[in-house]
Amino acid sequence: MSLPLLALAIASFGIGTTEFVIMGLLPDVAADLGVTIPAAGLLVTGYALGVVVGAPIMAMITNRLPRKTTLIGLTCVFIIGNLLCAIAPTYGFLMAARVVTAFCHGAFFGIGAVVAADLVPPTQRARAIALMFAGLTIANILGVPAGTALGQMLGWRATFWAVVGINCIAAISLAICLPARIRHEAGSLSREFRVLGDVQVLLAMAMSVVASASLFSVFTYITPLLRNVTGLDPRTVAGVLILFGVGITVGNIFGGRLADWKLMPSLIGMLGSLAAVLAIFAFTSHFTWPAIVTIFVWGMIDFALVSPLQIRVVDKARDAPNLASTLNQGAFNLGNASGAWIGGTALTLGLDYAALPWVGAGLALCALLLCLASRSIDRRRAVASLAPV
């Protein structure tokens, strides 16, 4: 089943590049469209909020559609969306194109994760999801730097034209490689939404929100942190960010293997390790090489959480896996937006950049507490099921 998973990874690479490449192009976009850089930065926030709002809407629209057709159709929306970004005459047009494109993000990764898990034996489900998400992590290593370089040489619009080409390749790959028939039982939407009322499903999604907020409360401001606290020059900062991308790619793969081994113990261990590494970063951020090593380890641990959190939601929402998996992508992006806001608020209130890792560590501990509460409920339910009637 390697070819279908490869096709899904190619598509996630295109979508990941779509989401993140704008961050390297903000000065060029701002100058060309006549807006400030902070206003251009809202294109990142707008995309994240588009994922949050679009996830439930697209889940309802695609509920009864064949999975292969749905994934190809969603990829085609990304093609059209990036085409509109490439020709956008105004800032408002570009924002609208970004938001509309983002509506399909959660649905693609949500449905794609369920499809990937169904393509392999039960003991390899988390690894299959991790392989699909590998495209997203590689986008941070290759897609974003290459897109930024292309935009600086040929103009930011050239980058979006290149992303159009990547997504065209992804759509063709999905059409060729995915099985013609993929198991899908379309249920009643009202019944599926009732499943989301289960406290375990809500806890799993809450873990996704808080874990993602832990990352973005620090990573959003990583460049000024590395320049002002660690004392790195811009070129070195770029290299460190690429190293972080390598770390998240490696961690993503290992996270899938750990989740297939023992899901909840792995989640507990990773969340505890994440809090510890961020606390350590508060000290190592003042020294060049210790900071670089800590950032690499931080990236590994943080993205090792992605596939375990996704499979936890799918497992706890067995009667509504597609809906829950899609909404969990919205949860990740809600964490992205809220984490950036929390970090920014901390700075506004007077915290130094060097203190931001403590904010991230605190959020990681909150996610750990949610995980421990979820495991406790599992144990109580297991005991209750063994009790005599």
pTM, to two decimals: 0.81
**What is the structure's pLDDT at 370?**
95
Which segments of 62-90 does DSSP mark as H helices, in order?
A: 67-87
The dihedral of CA 360, 362, 367, 372: what is its sign?
A: positive
pLDDT at 108 over 60: yes
pLDDT, mean over the chain: 86
**What is the structure's pLDDT at 388?**
63
Rounded (10°) angle between helices 105-118 and 67-87: 150
**What is the structure's pLDDT at 162?**
93
Which residue has 């570009």 as its token pair?
94
User: Cβ contacts of residue 85 below 8 Å, gap of 6+?
Assistant: 94, 97, 98, 101, 160
Please give the average per-residue pLDDT across 177-205, as a whole number: 75
Q: Taking a C-beta distance cutoff of 8 angstroms, is the pair 9, 134 a contact?
A: yes
Please give the average per-residue pLDDT across 216-235, as a whole number: 85
Which residue, among 77, 251, 92, 236, has the nearest Cα to 171 in the 3D structure?
A: 77
How far apart, in Å, are the Cα atoms of 30 and each of 35, 42, 156, 261, 262?
5, 11, 10, 47, 47
Please give the average per-residue pLDDT across 131-153, as a whole number: 81
**What is the structure's pLDDT at 236?**
85
Please give the average per-residue pLDDT across 317-329, as a whole number: 76
Q: How confident is the model at residue 364 (pLDDT cuts 50, 70, 90)?
A: very high
Q: Which of 37-51, 212-226, 275-289 has the lowest mean pLDDT?
A: 37-51
**What is the structure's pLDDT at 186?**
57
Q: How confident is the model at residue 188 (pLDDT cuts 50, 70, 90)?
A: low
pLDDT at 372 over 90: yes
Residue 25, classed as helix, strand or coil, is: coil
**What is the structure's pLDDT at 286?**
94
Distance (Å, whole) CA 158 – CA 138:
20
Q: How confident is the model at residue 187 (pLDDT cuts 50, 70, 90)?
A: low
pLDDT at 79 over 90: yes
**All structural domains of the chain:** 1-182 (1.20.1250.20), 187-389 (1.20.1250.20)
23 or 150: which leads in pLDDT: 150
Please give the average per-residue pLDDT across 282-290, as a whole number: 94
Q: What are phi and psi of 23, to 5 degrees?
A: -65, -30
**What is the structure's pLDDT at 139?**
83
286 or 323: which leads in pLDDT: 286
User: Cβ contacts of residue 104 below 8 Å, gap of 6+?
Assistant: 54, 58, 74, 77, 78, 81
Please give the average per-residue pLDDT across 282-309, as a whole number: 93
Helix %, strand %, coil % of the chain (to 5): 85, 0, 15
**pLDDT by residue (tens digit) across 48-71?**
888 888 877 887 788 778 888 899
- The CA-based diameter of the chain, rounded to the nearest angstrom, is 72
Q: Taking a C-beta distance cutoff of 8 angstroms, is the pair 189, 63 a contact?
A: yes
Distance (Å, whole) CA 122 – CA 314:
13
